[in-house]
Structure 1
Amino acid sequence: MSPPILLLKTKSSPNDGYDDFFSANNYTPTFVPVLEHRFHTSNLADVRELFAAGAFGQKTNDAGPTSTNVQLPTAGTSKQYGGMIFTSQRAVEGFAQMIEEKGLPATPSIPLYTVGPATARTLSSLRDKYLPTSTIHGADTGTGENLAHMMLDHYNDLQKMATSDLNGAPKSKPGLLFLVGEQRRDIIPKTLMDPTLPEDKRINVDEIVVYETGEMDSFEKDFAECVQGCAGEEVTWVVVFSPSGCEAMLRVLKLGPFASDGSSASSKGSRRIFVATIGPTTRDHLRNKFGFEPHVCAEKPSPEGVGEGIKRFMKSR
């Protein structure tokens, strides 16, 4: 029988790379949502209006640097973008939901930047259907910082061929539109707009919040029920994707500070429950806050990275 693997995340739509990968590798994946995501429909409507207003393309005049408060462009202004950035599957899903409900009024050919193969796969499905001539970059960068440095080279190279008008006069470089969640790091805008960079190297970035996130009240109960449902299994894996929900997860499994005289849910009889993290941020959170060392930390934040870590661990036993 295929061993269960509990994935502490919301299943991505329209497809989920973790579901595909672990189903194909003789596991039975179950998704246990930790976070509740609420889309900002008014801001997503603003994104649609940017497409309708022809905001993606070369700037026609220079109105100075952009800000992080996106305003819809008016005729003759320079509020235009040469591409988009997605570092979250939720941002892609919010964008997709807006398109599915309202349609996309324009289909420009633009670079779409993303970080991590899972988000790239979700974005690819959307691109193929609605932005077929656009290109996706950054799937293997792994972190926002790596993506930002890649964009400094890649996007600037793309713009070199489009920075002069027919008379040879230089045109102002369009910025990038970054669809983000309410909670996010600012490493990408800071890196791209670093004032120490040469002016012609800097890339203006506008962020627009398209979703907000909070831990689900029902997570601990839902997770406990899933663990109970795996009671007859010899081996069960739990994959943790963010610091959110770690305390509840450890409490249910009676691990770390919640362990008591060997009676943890992970070590009853011949049964074993093992914990893997998507990367070092979540691993360090478990270490530093709870004194718990996960069994696996993926070298790459992807289904393949998690799977390879699990495979090595099981071989070592």
Structure 2
Amino acid sequence: MPPKTPILLLKTRSSPNDSYDDFFSTNYIPSFIPVLEHRFNKTNLSHVRNLFVSGAFTKSNGNTSPENKDTQKYGGMIFTSQRAVEGFANMIEEEGLPLDPKSTAPLILYTVGPATARSLTTLRDTHLPGATIYGADAGTGENLAQMMLEHYNKIYPSSPSTSKPGLLFLVGEQRRDIIPKTLMSDTLPPQERITVEEIVVYETGEMDSFEKDFQGSVQNYKDEGHEVIWVVVFSPSGCEAMLRVLGLGPFADKGDGNKERKIFVATIGPTTRDYLRNKFAFEADVCAEKPSPEGVAEGIQRFMAK
């Protein structure tokens, strides 16, 4: 049996279980190298809790007129990162989320990928019974936004005398604005627009130790005699340090010089692929068609088969 191939996952290992660890442990040697450190904004997370407690997600009993003080403000929430789910879950664990199922409207939880959907499912089953998770197969924010326009407008159709509740988007300090722009676009008929309110619940920064940690892991696997190593990149953060260590892209004449190309790079999706391409003129060997362990593995298998 040939030795397992190391696969360096440039992300923080999810707790308590990580789908990438579970999936790749069978045929690879998965190793997690955190690129980012996340700091939760507890003030804003407490504000989210207060929105639930104060009735922002409360049923309006069909009366959505401006005079009705009990008008439902939000019909759902948007999560496009596991960190946002983690911050929301931590807040609930620490502060609780007292809800009256009889007065709380059915909650829609929109998500952009299977990993985040799995985290939301655990949260939903424990704390938000009755909530519906939608968008696990969207793949990108652009796709999710288009799906939401159709899905949400069917649930909350607007008329001249009523308006639909908005959506609460829990985001990081650094994020793309494609979802709010799409849902609130001036090009849409007014009755189809969906108000999105963003609340920053975590901040992100690149770890000072990442480049050193990554270089050490690469060197260890080389010293062990592994001929092929895969690196999976999950975001633009850390890309420059990664290329510098591997001696790729603009650093091809520097670093340790990966001239024989025994170390290959896969990206979790097109956003990171395009960032490497446009910023560093480096073409990743694989771009996963779906942002999931299975999507990454399928891309790697196709590449190696060539």
Using structure 2 for the length normalisation, give the TM-score.
0.89
- Structure 2 counterparts to residues 285-304 of structure 1, below 5 A: 285-304=275-294
Quote the offset at 1:274 in angstroms. Answer: 1.1
Identify if the C-alpha distance between structure 1 residues 261 and 203 changes in structure 2 by more than 3 Å, giving closer, same or farther: closer
Identify if the C-alpha distance between structure 1 residues 262 and 196 changes in structure 2 by more than 3 Å, giving closer, same or farther: closer
Aligned counterparts of 1:54 and 1:261: Cα–Cα separation in 2: 58
Query: Which one-letter code corresponds to 2:236 in the other structure?
Result: P
Hey, what does 1:3 align to over in structure 2? 5
Quote the offset at 1:299 in angstroms. Answer: 1.5
- Structure 2 counterparts to residues 163-202 of structure 1, below 5 A: 171-202=162-193
Query: Which one-letter code corresponds to 1:254 in the other structure?
Result: G
Aligned counterparts of 2:264 and 2:137: Cα–Cα separation in 1: 27
Cα offsets for 1:106-140 (capped at 9, x unmatched)? 16431100101111111111112111211110111
Which of 216, 241, 244 aligns to 1:248? It is: 241
Identify if the C-alpha distance between structure 1 residues 58 and 4 changes in structure 2 by more than 3 Å, giving closer, same or farther: same
Aligned counterparts of 2:219 and 2:233: Cα–Cα separation in 1: 18
Tell me, yes or no, if the aligned pair for 2:231 and 2:266 is still in contact at 8 Å.
yes
Aligned counterparts of 2:14 and 2:59: Cα–Cα separation in 1: 33
Using structure 1 for the length normalisation, give the TM-score.
0.86
Quote the offset at 1:147 in angstroms. Answer: 0.9
Quote the offset at 1:262 in angstroms. Answer: 10
Aligned counterparts of 1:133 and 1:170: Cα–Cα separation in 2: 29
Aligned counterparts of 1:152 and 1:216: Cα–Cα separation in 2: 37
Tell me, yes or no, if the aligned pair for 2:35 and 2:210 is still in contact at 8 Å.
yes
Quote the offset at 1:305 in angstroms. Answer: 1.1
Quote the offset at 1:90 in angstroms. Answer: 0.9
Aligned counterparts of 2:268 and 2:152: Cα–Cα separation in 1: 28
Matching of residue 27 in structure 1 with residue 24 in structure 2: no
Aligned counterparts of 2:164 and 2:227: Cα–Cα separation in 1: 58
Hey, what does 1:309 align to over in structure 2? 299
Hey, what does 1:153 align to over in structure 2? 150
Tell me, yes or no, if the aligned pair for 1:237 and 1:275 is still in contact at 8 Å.
yes
* Aligned-residue identity in percent: 69
Tell me, yes or no, if the aligned pair for 1:56 and 1:81 is still in contact at 8 Å.
yes
Structure 1 runs, 4 residues or longer, greater than 6 Å off: none
Aligned counterparts of 2:125 and 2:259: Cα–Cα separation in 1: 43
Aligned counterparts of 2:126 and 2:119: Cα–Cα separation in 1: 12
Which of 256, 270, 277 aligns to 2:267? It is: 277
Aligned counterparts of 2:274 and 2:64: Cα–Cα separation in 1: 47
Quote the offset at 1:261 in angstroms. Answer: 8.7
Tell me, yes or no, if the aligned pair for 1:57 and 1:174 is still in contact at 8 Å.
no
Aligned counterparts of 1:193 and 1:100: Cα–Cα separation in 2: 33
Which of 96, 110, 119 aligns to 1:113? It is: 110
The count of corresponding residues between Structure 1 and Structure 2 is 296
Hey, what does 1:219 align to over in structure 2? 210
Identify if the C-alpha distance between structure 1 residues 88 and 261 changes in structure 2 by more than 3 Å, giving closer, same or farther: closer
Tell me, yes or no, if the aligned pair for 1:243 and 1:282 is still in contact at 8 Å.
yes
Unaligned runs of 5+ in 2: none
- Structure 2 counterparts to residues 114-153 of structure 1, below 5 A: 114-153=111-150
Tell me, yes or no, if the aligned pair for 1:266 and 1:273 is still in contact at 8 Å.
no
